Amino acid sequence: NAGVTQTPKFRVLKTGQSMTLLCAQDMNHEYMYWYRQDPGMGLRLIHYSVGEGTTAKGEVPDGYNVSRLKKQNFLLGLESAAPSQTSVYFCASSLTSGGGSSYNEQFFGPGTRLTVL
């Protein structure tokens, strides 16, 4: 099993350009998440999905869109990149939500380093 993979690993954009980050998982997980991490800070949740065809906003959703057309894939889009979106982006997936007595181990991908000039 590859676990959680992210494409691309690195990207440099100019302000105003668009791009899509791809996250794929082969663990048949229902839940998928996109986070960003800025230097010296913890991860912040951008958007998440509780199943195929569903998406929801996280803590910092502005400037991003997501889609979950297939259970194994979760796409993060930047329509008009801004320098403030320079960050490392992590995707994660989990089998369950973790609510109640459920177990919520989130498996993380290796990250995508994005620089917006």
Partner 1 sequence: DAKTTQPTSMDCAEGRAANLPCNHSTISGNEYVYWYRQIHSQGPQYIIHGLKNNETNEMASLIITEDRKSSTLILPHATLRDTAVYYCIVLYGNKLVFGAGTILRVKS
- Judged by CB under 8 A, the number of residues near partner 1 is 31
3-state secondary structure at position 116: strand
Among 44, 65, 67, 71, contact with partner 1 (rule: CB under 8 A) = 44
Upper half-sphere CA count for residue 39 (Cβ side, 13 Å): 4
How many alpha carbons fall within 13 Å on the CB side of residue 81? 20
Sole binder of partner 1 in the list 25, 90, 93, 114 (CB under 8 A): 90
Q: Does 106 engage in binding with partner 1 (CB under 8 A)?
A: yes
- Does residue 103 bind partner 1 (CB under 8 A)? yes
Q: Within 13 Å and on the Cβ side, how many CA atoms surround 63?
A: 14
Residues that bind partner 1 (CB under 8 A): 4, 31, 35, 40-45, 48, 50, 58-59, 88, 90, 92, 94, 97-101, 103-111
